[in-house]
Amino acid sequence: MIGGKMSGMSQNPGNLIGIIAAVIAAYLIFTVFFSPAPPIIEVVECSISPDTINVNSQAILTIKIRNHDEEQGHPFEVEFRSHNLVAFYLGEKQLQKDGDVWHFNDVLNPSAELTQPIIVRADLETGTKRLTRLISVRIYSNGEKLADKELELAVER
């Protein structure tokens, strides 16, 4: 009450409900039309396990990618960079290497999800007991960089 009289909002609760409904509607319209769409190709995971290995063992670098396109498949490429004593394998076969960059290419089918294990083996220089190697992973699809991740792998004798 203001000056002994009820304010306009208090007299007509429909006005307040209408304002609240308009605000909620505006919020919903804004979130539906202006929210970014999920990427067509999504990198769900990029990790290495274990993160410490002996020179005679291996780690698994896991890449998990999802295609949100229901109509068509999309090619993707993964690039790996690391020290020259670190090597990357698909099963027992070494990945293609161009200079200091290792490559893995594939096509992700429509609405598919792929979990790709890449075997990582590493060695140490003579006399070195333990060293941590940095592994750079870059993932591309249709010329667009989807992910850029730095992983660490400790190697010991």
DSSP E strands: which ranges in 68-156?
Answer: 74-81, 86-90, 93-94, 96-98, 101-108, 113-122, 130-141, 144-156
> What is the CATH topology of the domain spanning 41-156?
Immunoglobulin-like (2.60.40)
Q: Is the pTM of this model over 0.85?
A: no
Max CA separation in the chain (angstroms): 92
> Residue 131's Cα: distance from chain center in Å?
27
Read off the pLDDT of residues 37-84 as tens digits, 9 standing for 90 and up. Answer: 667 999 999 999 999 999 989 999 999 999 999 999 999 999 999 999
Read off the pLDDT of residues 101-149 as tens digits, 9 standing for 90 and up. Answer: 999 999 999 999 999 999 999 999 999 999 999 999 999 998 899 999 9
